[in-house]
């Protein structure tokens, strides 16, 4: 099962949306881009479900722990919560959502699935001097350590390879 963020709702062919999970708040987001699309996805698209309060709290706590909460809209948090609640793979190009999922071993995939993930790598970026350091084995938030240059906290960041 898959949960789709709004980018996927807009980008994927309608037939691929069937059976996927979304939250009701995403209809308004799609409406902003295309009222026609919004009508179509409501009549023949994914299942619109609201996450439980518990799942939203879990998603919020996870995003706080990874430092991504401030960049996430309420709808983003809801779709993350829905993915968690239903054990659904989250389809998103939002690196914050991807970062939260990665840190909590929740499956996710990018919207365009033609190997584009190969052109991305993880790095540890210093919150102070912004220097980047190689990301070692996957570690949970809080175990990344501190910048050897300035001592500030390191955070996991997804960067695009130059090739």
List contacts with Zn ion (CB under 5 A). Answer: 126, 128-129, 147, 149-150, 152
CB of 125 to Zn ion, least distance (A): 9
Query: Could you tell me the smallest distance in angstroms from the CB atom of residue 91 to Zn ion?
Result: 34
Answer whether 107's CB lies under 8 Å from 90's CB: yes
Specify the 3-state DSSP secondary structure of 151. Answer: coil
Residue 124 CB, shortest distance to Zn ion, in Å, is 10
Distance between CA atoms of 116 and 148, rounded to whole angstroms? 31
Q: What span, in angstroms and rounded, lies between the C-alpha atoms of 155 and 146?
A: 9
**C-beta of 64 vs 150, nearer to Zn ion:** 150
Query: Which one, 136 or 150, has the nearer CB to Zn ion?
Result: 150
Length of the chain: 163
Instruction: Rank residues 130 and 140 by Cβ distance to Zn ion and give the closer one.
Output: 130
């Amino acid at each position: 099962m898959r949960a789709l963020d709004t980018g996927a709702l807009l980008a994927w062919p309608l037939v691929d949306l069937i059976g996927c999970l979304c939250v009701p708040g995403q209809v308004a987001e799609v409406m902003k881009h295309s009222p026609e699309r919004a009508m179509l996805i409501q009549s023949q698209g994914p299942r619109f479900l609201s996450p439980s309060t518990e799942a939203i709290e879990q998603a919020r706590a996870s995003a706080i722990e990874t430092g991504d909460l401030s960049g996430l809209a309420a709808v983003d948090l809801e779709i993350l919560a829905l993915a968690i609640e239903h054990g659904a793979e989250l389809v998103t190009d939002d690196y914050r959502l991807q970062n939260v999922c990665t840190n909590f071993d929740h499956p996710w995939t990018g919207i365009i699935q033609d190997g584009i993930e190969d052109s991305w790598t993880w790095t540890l970026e210093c919150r102070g001097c912004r220097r980047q350091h190689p990301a070692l084995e996957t570690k949970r938030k809080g175990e990344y350590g501190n910048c050897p240059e300035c001592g500030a906290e390191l955070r996991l960041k997804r960067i695009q390879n130059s090739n």
